[in-house]
Structure 1
Amino acid sequence: MIPLVGHLYRENNVVTSIYGRSIINRTVVDIIKAHKYVRQVEGTPLCVRETWPILEILSRLELGPSRIDIGKIATGYKNSNEAVELEDYVRGQVSELINAKNGSDHEEQDVVLYGFGRIGRLMARILIQRAGGSGMNLRAIIVRKGKAENDLQKRASLLRRDSVHGPFNGTISVDEENNVIFANGVAIQVIYANSPDQVDYTDYGINNAIVVDNTGVWRDAEGLGQHLQCKGTSKVILTAPGKGELKNVVYGVNHNIIEESDNIISAASCTTNAITPVLKAICDKFGVENGHVETVHSYTNDQNLIDNYHKGARRGRSAALNMVISETGAAKAVSKALPQLEGKLSGNAIRVPTPNVSMAILNLNLSTNTDVEELNNYLREMALYSDLKKQIDYTNSHEVVSSDFVGNRNAGIVDSRATIVNGNRCVLYVWYDNEFGYSCQVNRILQHMSGNMHKSVPA
């Protein structure tokens, strides 16, 4: 299977998966584990002997750029009552993609990362992983000059090694003379600047670039507008909640509000991205009268490692030693994507001594009565087959803990075994990788704004 997966990706820009679990650049064990996951969510097993012939058929077709879930195609074929051969069934599923190998009419999109912290480096990993096929080219990162003489080597080392997300999957080298980091052959120009308006990107051959500002220093249109004063830029995405009239976008929920004329967009916060898709799903079927959101959030760079002065309440105390009651604007921010929840949600946060993966506890009063089985079955269907399948994930295990979700690409993961329902009251537990899952959401907005969001099959 592995050579065929690679062939489809390299030659056709087809990303293959098993129930949303990508199988590109995966080991034999990874692919088998992806098949095992199907039993957890469907209740029936899926065998590699069922997906292998589908890959064979797809590899013979001239397919256009797309994302194809061979696991769902295999299950769909098993459950189909039609007397049809597998090849005919598969061809029917991908009919719109056949002979569309060069079907993308969008130009390659230059991307610049302004800031190279936790989100910046994960965004770099995502863009590098899909280089050469996604239509988005990571051209540069902008940072302030550090005090160390080997600044560039240190930047490259942080990309190469990550204490939470593990080593970079590939090779990294540095050209110090030209300030370039090469990652899996992708040349990333490192540009030193103290403010957004100091760079002429055209000097580096960068044009019409989308700038992803992950510093969080500027959060309004005026501050972020400095990026657009530079030659070679066209749009800006902020990886933090925006202020003023900026559109706060949660991909999958309200990304359709982005218009061609929008030059500055906020990708909201990690917590807002985690809870909004689940809340939308609940609102659509059961309605929400009111509720409270409590986030149990991993510590971040804004906190102190040991006790020291901090302008924020309680945040001066050691993040590695304490649970710290804090604030979250996520509950209020949800209403920017779901206006029907305006004024209905309160929220608070507890920062805890873990470096990554957080949890949102949604305590909701619904408009209609339900039970645990109905609610969980509905959320499972939404995670597998709805338009929110890239945002909502679902687990049915008694044994999962926070570290099991490091690297999860979804905005949030519903822990079905923890769901509580009593009439019209429910409590939902939603895990989320507040670093990588959020970065994937930012990347989806980037794809959408650049016109490089490829068709998914099955629909």
Structure 2
Amino acid sequence: MSAQLAINGFGRIGRSVLRAIVERDLWHHLAVVSINELAPIETICHLLKYDSTHGRFPGSVVIEDNCLVVNGHVINITHEADFTALQIDVDVLIECSGSVSAEEARRQVGGSLKHVLISNPSQPDVDRTLIYGFNQDQVTRQDGVISCGSCTSNALIPMVAVLDEQFGVVAGSSLTLHSAMNDQPVIDAYHDVDLRLTRSAMQSMIPVETALDRGVYRLLPHLEGRLHSSSIRVPTSNVSAIELTVQTDRAITRGAFTACLQQLADSNQYISISTEPLASCDFIHDHHSAVIDVPQSAVVNHHLVKVLIWFDNEWGYANRLVDSALHVQQMISLGELT
């Protein structure tokens, strides 16, 4: 049984979602039938076909009768600025615009639309925060509005959880080195909120606000107050890294730490480990939520561990959105959410 899928917002993540469905040959499970995006359809078509980071689209993309046709599949294109005014007749909608609140999403759930998956942490009043590969088994039929967290929380939470389970987390700090994003100017320009974000994305490393620690607390509430997070934007177009430093309650050896990392990768197919001397560009188009750099990770004095985590902040996260939509679709087909 195929679920009909809509995408609201067709920027970097929205386009990656559609591309992942095509590359993974999932159209017979997740049929994209509608895209809502303010840009003209000619621009939508062009940016889907030609991507500076991920390369040319692996298939045909054309415009016919004001619709987008991808590999022969017709996708209706709308340009509605007011999400609550959208006429939605699909099973699942993936919200990728970054501008829709949980309450606005909740107003659309009902009738044919059973679930809205939000591609950001959203507000705490979402029905469920889903980190695929970590807690997808907790999804219930009442979860109409589901946040899929962020690319950073998908990368970090499984690692923090396993360290806490095996060694006990006393305190910790995470530093995200995040590639440039579309809220940054290419050259110096005005910004409404953050003076640091007035500076050229390609000339500086720029500290920005992050709520990653609060995202961790949402799923691991017993750790509240024990973690601190910070973030710096760096002048690269894609792939980010997190340096996680944790003080452990129980003593830890290098051997036990390495075994812990291997166990996490073995038990979670969305986490990988790397033992090669790689750089960020080597992880472009990597589908994992996190790749743990073992040579760059360390144990200090038996109670301090450092972990370096790489992730493609576009492709890895888009694939978790697809996995989440596929999970919902499979439960719908089994009658568990109907």
The 1-side partners of 2:86 and 2:97 are apart by 16
Q: Is the 8 A contact 2:8 2:95 kept in 1?
A: yes
Matched to 1:126, the amino acid is: A
Q: Is the 8 A contact 2:292 2:307 kept in 1?
A: yes
Provide the residue aligned with 2:116 in structure 1: 236
For the residue of structure 2 that corresponds to 1:293, the secondary structure is strand
Q: Is the 8 A contact 1:160 1:167 kept in 2?
A: yes
Residue identity over aligned pairs, in percent, reads 28
Per-residue deviation, 1:131: 4.4
Of 313, 317, 322, which aligns to 1:443?
A: 322
The 1-side partners of 2:207 and 2:49 are apart by 34
Per-residue deviation, 1:416: 0.1
For the residue of structure 2 that corresponds to 1:320, the secondary structure is coil
Q: Is the 8 A contact 2:130 2:146 kept in 1?
A: yes
1:112 aligns with 2:1: no
Per-residue deviation, 1:268: 1.0
The 2-side partners of 1:406 and 1:425 are apart by 30
For the residue of structure 2 that corresponds to 1:350, the secondary structure is strand
For the residue of structure 1 that corresponds to 2:63, the secondary structure is strand
The change in CA–CA distance for 1:161 and 1:453 in structure 2 (over 3 A counts) is: farther
Q: Deviations over 1:235-258 (max 9, x none)?
A: 211101111311322112222332
Per-residue deviation, 1:219: 2.7
The change in CA–CA distance for 1:284 and 1:401 in structure 2 (over 3 A counts) is: same
Q: Deviations over 1:372-431 (max 9, x none)?
A: 2321232123212x1x222x110001x200010011111111000001102110110001
Per-residue deviation, 1:228: 2.9
Provide the residue aligned with 1:225 in structure 2: 106
Of 316, 324, 334, which aligns to 2:216?
A: 334
1:358 aligns with 2:240: yes
Which structure has the larger Rg over C-alpha atoms? 1
Per-residue deviation, 1:262: 1.2
Matched to 1:250, the amino acid is: I
For the residue of structure 2 that corresponds to 1:447, the secondary structure is helix
The 1-side partners of 2:234 and 2:211 are apart by 18
Provide the residue aligned with 1:195 in structure 2: 82
Compare relative contact order (CA 8 Å, sep 6+) and give the higher one, 1 or 2.
2
The 2-side partners of 1:451 and 1:156 are apart by 30
The change in CA–CA distance for 1:355 and 1:289 in structure 2 (over 3 A counts) is: same
Per-residue deviation, 1:452: 6.1
Matched to 1:431, the amino acid is: W
The 1-side partners of 2:49 and 2:97 are apart by 20
1:314 aligns with 2:192: no
Instruction: Name whichever structure is richer in strand by fraction.
Output: 2
The 1-side partners of 2:294 and 2:27 are apart by 36
The 1-side partners of 2:56 and 2:239 are apart by 18
Of 160, 171, 179, which aligns to 1:290?
A: 171
Of 389, 403, 413, which aligns to 2:281?
A: 403
The change in CA–CA distance for 1:185 and 1:452 in structure 2 (over 3 A counts) is: farther
1:157 aligns with 2:37: no
Provide the residue aligned with 1:274 in structure 2: 155
Provide the residue aligned with 2:136 in structure 1: 255
For the residue of structure 2 that corresponds to 1:419, the secondary structure is strand
Q: Deviations over 1:58-79 (max 9, x none)?
A: xxxxxxxxxxxxxxxxxxxxxx
The 2-side partners of 1:347 and 1:109 are apart by 37
Provide the residue aligned with 1:121 in structure 2: 15
For the residue of structure 2 that corresponds to 1:418, the secondary structure is strand
1:245 aligns with 2:116: no
Q: Deviations over 1:123-164 (max 9, x none)?
A: 0101223446651111110012x4xxxx32221110011111
Matched to 2:50, the amino acid is: R
The 1-side partners of 2:115 and 2:131 are apart by 17
Matched to 1:436, the amino acid is: W
Matches within 5 A, 1:2-151: 107-131=1-25, 134-144=28-38, 146=39, 151=40
Root mean square deviation, CA, Å: 1.9
Matched to 1:109, the amino acid is: A
1:424 aligns with 2:303: yes
Matched to 2:48, the amino acid is: L
Per-residue deviation, 1:188: 1.6
1:372 aligns with 2:266: no
The 2-side partners of 1:379 and 1:219 are apart by 36
Per-residue deviation, 1:308: 1.2
Provide the residue aligned with 2:336 in structure 1: none
The 2-side partners of 1:448 and 1:393 are apart by 21
Q: Normalized against structure 1, the TM-score is what?
A: 0.69
Per-residue deviation, 1:208: 4.0
Q: Deviations over 1:289-319 (max 9, x none)?
A: 1100111111100111111111224111111
